[in-house]
């Protein structure tokens, strides 16, 4: 499942360069950088992303966005929630990319990033299926011992997320239909 969702081709036909496994109710996530051989896998604490530098950058961009759009102030303010969402996600992605050694200022060489949010309907799937999918994502791209180690870490995080936010019957129904199993792409190299 994980390989199918995160390792499959993007709409452009290319495979993602970086896959992030986000556990919304936990204090860490997994970053898989497939641009290298062997693949680089990291457990990243959310505090490394959502730190004082992050909040200052969001505040600065929000202030500039809030003051823009004076030609059509009502239309500008009506669109503000979308702009704030873009700022919050964009700054977070820049911090994550920087943490992974990506120069996010070099727009011609930005990697394709897929974010796999492991919550809700995804948690209704058997843990072994998620772990096997993650293992498949790394198989042949990392040392077997590393694949086993990271697969076990994924198992641990999936179980923790399941305990932090138990699956509802609605989420179970969505998982059975497959409607909610698409990865969330928040950064894409459009060049």
Q: Rounded mean pLDDT of 125-131? A: 91
Query: Of 12-16, 91-95, 97-101, which range is least confident?
Result: 12-16
Which residue did the predictor score with more confidence, 117 or 178?
A: 117
For residues 185 and 111, what is the distance between their CA atoms, to the nearest angstrom? 12
Which residue did the predictor score with more confidence, 9 or 33?
A: 33
This prediction's pTM? 0.80
Query: Of 20-24, 79-83, 90-94, 102-106, which range is least confident?
Result: 102-106
User: What stretches of 72-181 show up as alpha helix (H) in DSSP?
Assistant: 73-78, 80-99, 127-138, 144-164, 169-177
Mean pLDDT rounded to a whole number for the chain? 84
Q: Residue 8's pLDDT is what?
A: 56
Q: What is the pLDDT of residues 20-30, one digit of tens each?
A: 999 999 999 99
Q: Residue 151's pLDDT is what?
A: 95
Q: Rounded mean pLDDT of 106-116? A: 90
For residues 41 and 169, what is the distance between their CA atoms, to the nearest angstrom? 33
Question: Which residues make beta-bridge pairs with 32?
Answer: 19, 41
- DSSP assignment of 51-92 equals SHHHHHHHHHHHHHHHH--TTSHHHHHHTHHHHHHHHHHHHH
Q: Residue 2's pLDDT is what?
A: 53
Which residue did the predictor score with more confidence, 147 or 185?
A: 147
Q: Residue 166's pLDDT is what?
A: 81
Question: What token pair was written down for 120?
Answer: 């809700």
For residues 126 and 1, what is the distance between their CA atoms, to the nearest angstrom? 10
């Amino acid at each position: 499942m994980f390989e199918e969702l995160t390792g499959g081709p993007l709409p452009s036909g290319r495979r993602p360069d970086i896959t992030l496994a986000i556990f919304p109710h936990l204090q860490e996530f997994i970053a898989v950088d497939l641009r290298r051989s062997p693949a680089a896998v990291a457990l990243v604490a959310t505090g490394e992303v959502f730190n004082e530098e992050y909040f200052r950058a969001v505040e600065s961009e929000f202030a500039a966005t809030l003051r823009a759009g004076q030609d059509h102030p009502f239309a500008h303010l009506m669109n503000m929630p979308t702009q704030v969402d873009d700022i919050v996600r964009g700054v977070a992605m820049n911090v994550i990319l920087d943490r992974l050694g990506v120069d996010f200022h070099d727009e011609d060489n930005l990697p394709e990033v897929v974010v796999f949010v492991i919550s809700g309907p995804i948690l209704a799937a058997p843990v072994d299926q998620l772990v096997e999918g993650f293992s498949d994502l790394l198989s042949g791209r990392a040392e077997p011992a590393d694949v086993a180690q990271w697969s076990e870490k994924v198992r641990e995080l999936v179980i923790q997320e399941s305990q932090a936010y138990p699956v509802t019957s609605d989420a179970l129904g969505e998982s059975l239909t497959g409607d909610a199993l698409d990865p969330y792409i928040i950064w894409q190299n459009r060049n």
